[in-house]
Structure 1
């Protein structure tokens, strides 16, 4: 059976099929959690914020106009909720259980020391900068979508990514 598109799901929920929103949650909970966890560095708090994101999305689904992809809209909600949570909790730490620095495909290229060094460098970044890195590199979102999610201009995202990469290199060199 073919999976419904995001727009079909939105239409079904709008027509009263509240169970259809579960498809959205199953489809996007993992990537949304990774983004939030990367920003907050606290698994428990990231789970709470991820849940809040989906509750907020469900409650305001009538505001989704389809001008962007549903995933972009969800990422925007998650990004904003995580920024709010990070403001409430000034001390943020990115733990190794949340960092997706290497995958099985690239694991042979990076040893434990290199991965730990990258995690420590990421830990030193501001939550918003970690979000840019997570969205662009880990979630492989295009720059235009990262701009839409974060509310920044495309040019600003490019500049911030460039500066953040330079900062990461600087942190790595100090290791």
Structure 2
């Protein structure tokens, strides 16, 4: 997607163009909803948070400067809102109540789990579960940095802007998160399985 196009659309939003806002909502709703879900572990609440995030985006449109990529601006708003929600202490990420359909919908884009045969499908779901457990065990900032990097393809400098942190801090967060995922995946590949790997 053309970030310059997004920037121009956002400037139209700042000028009060509601159709431009609807266009950005359509483009980024799914990404923001997945991002929010990884923080609260509840799909209905994640959708509410997504709506809140886009309301904040609209209200703060005039603060956007075209020198910054729109996606960075959006995920800064999303990160702050999700971190504030988690810090309230009401929500914690859980995976036990997720159905296989939920897992497939979220997807684990960080790992190539495309399956063409039934056995591959089972392995793919196990891999998703292992990565999900690794995400659950991360700090909120590690989860945010990892999600933006691995799932949204954002550069370290843009993640640093979204998290209001240094690039060095972001690299450290992503490194720790990546190691956590790698340990879960290695345990799965060794035949231990995501659940027993915590023993």
Change (3 A) 1:25 1:127: same
Partners of 2:76 and 2:161 within 8 A in 1? yes
Distance 2:54 2:147 in 1: 19
Change (3 A) 1:16 1:116: closer
Partner of 2:191: none
> Deviations for 1:15-42, whole angstroms, at most 9, x for unmatched residues?
4432221111111111111111112212
Partners of 1:94 and 1:122 within 8 A in 2? no
Partner of 2:75: 75
Equivalent residues in 2 for 1:88-167, closer than 5 Å: 88-95=88-95, 96=98, 97=102, 99-102=106-109, 106-108=113-115, 110-167=123-180
Partner of 1:24: 24
Q: Structure 1 residue 61: deviation in Å?
A: 0.7
Change (3 A) 1:127 1:163: same
Tell me how large the CA RMSD over aligned residues is: 2.5
Q: Structure 1 residue 90: deviation in Å?
A: 4.8
Shift >4 Å, 4+ stretches: 102-105
Unaligned 5+ runs, structure 1: none
Equivalent pairs counted in the alignment come to: 172
Partners of 1:7 and 1:70 within 8 A in 2? yes
> Normalization by structure 1: what TM-score?
0.84
> Normalization by structure 2: what TM-score?
0.75
